[in-house]
Chain A
Amino acid sequence: MNGNVVEVKGLWWKYQGNVDWVLKDINLTVRKGEFVGIIGPSGAGKTTLCLALTGIIPHSIRGEFRGEIRVHGKNTLNTTLTSIMEDVGIVFQDPDIQFITMRVLDEVVFPLENMGAPRDLIKERAEWALNIVGLRGFEEKHPSELSGGQKQRVAIASMLAKLPKLLILDEPTSDLDPIGKMEVFKVLEKLRTDYDVTLIVVEHNVEELAKFADRIILLTEGRIVFDEPPRRLFSKCTELRKIGVYPPQVTELFYRLNSLSGNSRSLFLPLTVEEAYKLFRKQFSGKSITMEFSEEFSESLTGSGRSVVEFQNVKYIYPDGTLALNGINLTIREGDFMAIVGANGSGKTTLAKHMVGILKPTEGRVLVFGKDTRTMKASEIALNVGYVYQNPDHQLFCTTVFEECAYALRNMGLDEDEIEERVHEVLDKLGLKGLESTPPYFLSKGQRQRLAVATVLVMKPKVLVVDEPTTGQDHIQSESIMKLLEKLNSEGTTIVVITHDMRLVAEYAKRVTVMYNGLIIADGPTRKVITSTRDLLKSSLNPPQITRFFLKVNPNMRVLTLEEGLRILGGGINRG
């Protein structure tokens, strides 16, 4: 074997029954100790490539395979899965489904038990792996007692315990809050520097990837479009944007500033806030840029109409005794575009479920359009307050897209003409026209997400509560959902969105509520809340990269978006 851990030559793959190839002529080499990132829009074939590298394709999944994959010199076609997996570990996106057992220690030792390792060795390796991921003392914990980040670290420890030479992670942080994401990346960095583990990480979060990866591969429609070091890749801002990949905000900021000043491409582009700050000091020393900021940017406008949902000292205790809401006082006003943010398990979804009456307060009361939810049925509240689930599959149960949208209207007793009119109107609005007779499960994830919004929107609710609409979606899909919500808000619908994506919150929300341990620790206009880093950090959140950069430049520069940043620094360039 040469120094290559992975060698892929002319790989083509299509799933059984599919016409299209999912992977097309993939050629790839990964050297020992490298940290390789894989990015690309949804449906690009990232997960499929991971499954192929582990041998699950074609050993366990049927389809047509062409080409050759060698992992540690072993041809995956001629080697058993067990033999391949002796040196390879893989961590999947969903931390919950990866738990085979219900104890942290049992989970970590499980692969070693399967290998028939002696007890002493298992003990030693389990302690070592848990130490690396920072989970010593958690051995007897149940998955439900762990945060999302901790669960994902258990999944990593479980793979680490068998000392893999190659670790593949498929979107390991998509369900995690920003601090949880950081925890996972810190562990990965440690693995590479201290233990020389080769890492292949599929990620939508380019900011962290840019910081740690040696190379980033961009996959689109099953093909490798770019395979370059992060700095070189992200300097192709315009091409990446076209594909739907957004570079780190500070990279794009300086790229566009360079374009404005006529120096494109050749200059050094920063990837992190620290690098951007150094570059800023070099390029903008002596230029006055703070004045324009205070004059140009005011607080975003929050809803000013009547109260639509009101929480009055609400406490909620789950049947197992968990105190999920601990004295919530909150008023949502007509016209609000509100984001509820907070760490995994901080009570965001519990709060949202109280708005639609699925949950009723243990103490205190929730008023929806002035009426106490304890005296109303959830189906009655739903006429005014719609709720879109995080996982669209939880709310799609009809045989066609049309029937899915018509379902609620039939329950409302509307006549068929009106049903037809409303369904066509909503499908048109959400870009699903022409798919009326398609079964919902044949749609892509992005389309299913939009259909889930459509099924609620068709009831014309005055308030729309959307739970984590962008989790696991690429930037184009996320932007498309947020733009839709923005449009609905401009048409008069009050929007409440629960999300971890601080970049989208900064760009779209007018008001932000931060939750921490069942309490609201901050609530106000987006600019004010997003830039008060202390409250956000307490709740495991982090402002967007562009905000952090400008706060570092000047604590009074409360910038939310790339466009705002460009207006400030672009002005500086023009004056310079």
Chain B
Amino acid sequence: MKRTYFLYVEENSPLYKLHPSLKIFLLLFFNIEALLLDSPYMLWGGIILTILLFKVAKIPLSRLGKFLAFAIIITQAIMFSYLLGSSIPGNIVYWHLPWGTYVTDVTLLHVFTMVGRFMLMLVGSTLVLSVLTDTDIIYGLVFLRVPYSIALTISLAFRFASIFLDDYLKVRDAMVLRGTSFDKGNIFQRARKYVNLAIPLMVMAIRRMLELTYVLEVKGTRLKGKRTFYREYKMKPYEKALAILLLATPALTLTMKMGLITFILPGVLAQ
């Protein structure tokens, strides 16, 4: 088993073995494609395909379970904002609401699309982060000719995010042990509790940053100039083909979106 950003994955997982650049392409692919696609059918089809990829990559689907609560909250937020606050014309009007907005068949399609977009981003990113390591980020980005300084910064940001999360959980527990209930009180009272929580997090983050700066300095980190990359990654022919496919698909989607009506939200046809 190999440790990645999202804990452990089998060493022989086909996705884990991919070239680092391809993993980064894949991460970008899911997020860009989710923004480009307007068809809910294609989005939800993409989600199903991505879930199947979990099986291929030997990643337990339980990884997604961790985000269930988050997904439900976001889905609810999207639904309520469209259903209660939008007036999108459509073929059938289902409800007229007292404050002047209404819900049509196109409103429902919009909800379905937006939830699909978010879910494709979530499922796709979870899949990639389950096979991605910090080495992948540095080597992948440098392979794509991104300057080393940027690649290192992104990698450190990922690393700091996990340390920050760990600190956050500890401080939150410490506050709970002194009688804080984060789910009680009005919005201002809750916000105040989170402000309290932010104080030690900020202090610790600054201290850690300083220490990290010293460590980077003493390890001779140079952002410019000659640097050796010890590990060697070469793209295999099938990986090159996959890279082309991952780059071509969003380009094709964009082209079709601009030129062909079939990729546009079906409800638009009715307008």
Contact = CB atoms under 8 A, between A and B. Distances in A.
Interface residues of A, number: 70
B93 interface: no
Interface stretch (A95-103, A252-260, A507-515): A95-103
Contact of B230 (A89, A90, A113, A377): A113
A126 B220 CA distance: 16
Nearest to A110: B219
Contacts of B180: 379, 411
Interface stretch (A129-137, A140-148, A306-314, A566-574): A140-148
Interface residues of B, number: 53
A397 B228 contact: no
B175 interface: yes
B214 interface: yes
Contacts of A89: 218
A391 to B, nearest CB: 8
Interface in A359-391: 377-379, 382, 386-387, 389, 391
Interface in B180-229: 180-181, 196-197, 199-200, 203-204, 207-208, 211-222, 225-229
B134 interface: yes
A386 B156 CA distance: 35
Nearest to A386: B177
Nearest to B2: A140
A356 B215 CA distance: 36
Interface string A534-549: 0000000000000000
Interface stretch (A114-122, A171-179, A473-481): A114-122
Max chain A CB contacts within 10 Å: which of B133, B156, B180, B228? B228
A393 B200 contact: yes
B226 A116 contact: yes
Contact of B177 (A94, A378, A393): A378
A398 interface: yes
Contacts of A382: 176-179
Contact of B219 (A114, A119, A387, A412): A114
A379 B181 CA distance: 8
Contact of B214 (A60, A118, A389, A459): A60
Contact of B179 (A60, A119, A411): A411
B156 A398 contact: no
A407 B221 contact: no
A528 to B, nearest CB: 33
B196 A397 contact: yes
Max chain B CB contacts within 10 Å: which of A92, A378, A397, A408? A397
A144 B213 CA distance: 22
Contact of B212 (A97, A126, A377, A441): A97
A220 interface: no
18 contacts: A56-B217, A60-B214, A97-B208, A97-B212, A116-B227, A117-B228, A126-B230, A159-B218, A356-B177, A378-B176, A379-B176, A379-B178, A382-B178, A391-B170, A393-B200, A397-B196, A397-B197, A407-B179
Interface of B: 2-3, 7-8, 66, 133-135, 138, 155-156, 159, 163, 167, 170-171, 173-181, 196-197, 199-200, 203-204, 207-208, 211-222, 225-232
Given A122-B230, A358-B173, A382-B177, 11 more contacts: A100-B156, A100-B221, A114-B227, A118-B228, A378-B173, A382-B178, A387-B177, A393-B203, A394-B174, A407-B179, A411-B178
